[in-house]
């Protein structure tokens, strides 16, 4: 629904949590349209996602600020880490890309078709071959060359572009550069990468070559949040396809492109829909 709100909750598992949340929403007259919860028994944590309508035609509008204020004491009582999001505010997303454009093309197409509910104010690349594609979709393209010698200067230019565009989420659509720790700290849990292997297997830049050399029978792709440790962030989505001894590296690369597109687009869509909760190095993905 276009006019809805989402409440995400992480807290220590204890009795009365569902009743406390649903009871307060009922008191405000909320029409709950989706609710889901999960318990991690080992960690002793409770996770919840609730979505409700903000009022349709002929119905009174839901007072989101009054609810926010009224819910604050409940959050404190149960030691909740809570996030309240309203659908009318579309996240602003920057896409980073290098020379491989298949993930970029897929994201831009899905965005044009209305599958990704966001604003894409800019595309940043360390190469120029993505500029015609960006121009086709009417999105500003910025070429920021990077090398070992000028990495700090290049990232400073990227930071300025992201700040000017008020970007909230960065998507690495096969962006083949390692982000600095400063970059990751500026966007905690807000940088999504696609890696062309089934992590934690075959980390690094040439996983299809490593997979072929190892003789695996399955290859995969992984979308994950970026952390300071390479290819080790919380996993959001993964998928695999079967291969055989007949497949060469080029076959693995070609078949892997479809997996990369799918896992990245799903991860971005789930993030935009507020369906992901991160804890430690894991994620909860709500239906």
Q: Which residues are catalytic?
A: 231
Residue with tokens 């979709």: 137
β-strand pairing of 81-86 with 4-12: antiparallel
Nearest Cα neighbor of 233 from 176, 194, 177 is 194
Q: Classify 49 as helix, strand or coil.
A: strand
* Distance separating alpha carbons of residues 138 and 145, to the nearest angstrom: 22
| Cβ neighbours for 121, distance < 8 A, ≥ 6 positions apart | 92, 93, 94, 139, 140, 165, 166, 167
Q: Classify 10 as helix, strand or coil.
A: strand
Does residue 226 contact residue 236 with C-beta atoms inside 8 Å? Answer: no
């Amino acid at each position: 629904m276009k006019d809805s709100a989402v409440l995400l909750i992480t807290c220590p598992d204890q009795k009365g949590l569902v009743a406390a949340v649903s009871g307060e929403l009922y008191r405000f007259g909320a029409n709950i349209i989706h609710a889901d919860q999960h318990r991690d028994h080992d960690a002793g944590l409770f996770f919840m996602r609730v979505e409700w309508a903000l009022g349709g035609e002929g119905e009174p509008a839901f007072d989101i600020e009054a609810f926010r204020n009224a819910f604050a004491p409940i959050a404190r009582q149960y030691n909740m880490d809570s996030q309240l999001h309203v659908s009318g505010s579309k996240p602003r997303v920057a896409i980073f890309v290098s020379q491989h454009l298949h993930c970029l093309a897929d994201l831009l197409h899905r965005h044009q078709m209305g599958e990704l509910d966001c604003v894409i104010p800019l595309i940043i690349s360390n190469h120029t071959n993505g500029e015609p594609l960006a121009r086709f979709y009417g999105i500003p393209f910025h070429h920021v060359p990077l090398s070992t010698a000028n990495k700090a200067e290049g990232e400073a230019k990227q930071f300025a572009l992201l700040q000017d565009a008020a970007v909230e989420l960065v998507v690495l659509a096969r962006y083949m550069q390692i982000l600095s720790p400063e970059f990751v700290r500026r966007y905690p849990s807000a940088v999504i990468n696609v890696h062309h292997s089934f992590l934690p297997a075959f980390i690094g830049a040439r996983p299809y070559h490593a997979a072929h050399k190892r003789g695996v029978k399955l290859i995969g792709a992984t979308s994950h949040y970026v952390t300071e440790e390479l290819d080790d962030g919380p996993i959001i989505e993964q998928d695999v396809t079967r291969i055989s001894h007949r497949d060469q590296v080029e076959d693995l690369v070609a078949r892997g492109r479809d997996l990369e597109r799918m896992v990245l687009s799903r991860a971005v869509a789930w993030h935009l829909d507020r369906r992901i909760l991160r804890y430690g190095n894991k994620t909860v993905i709500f239906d």
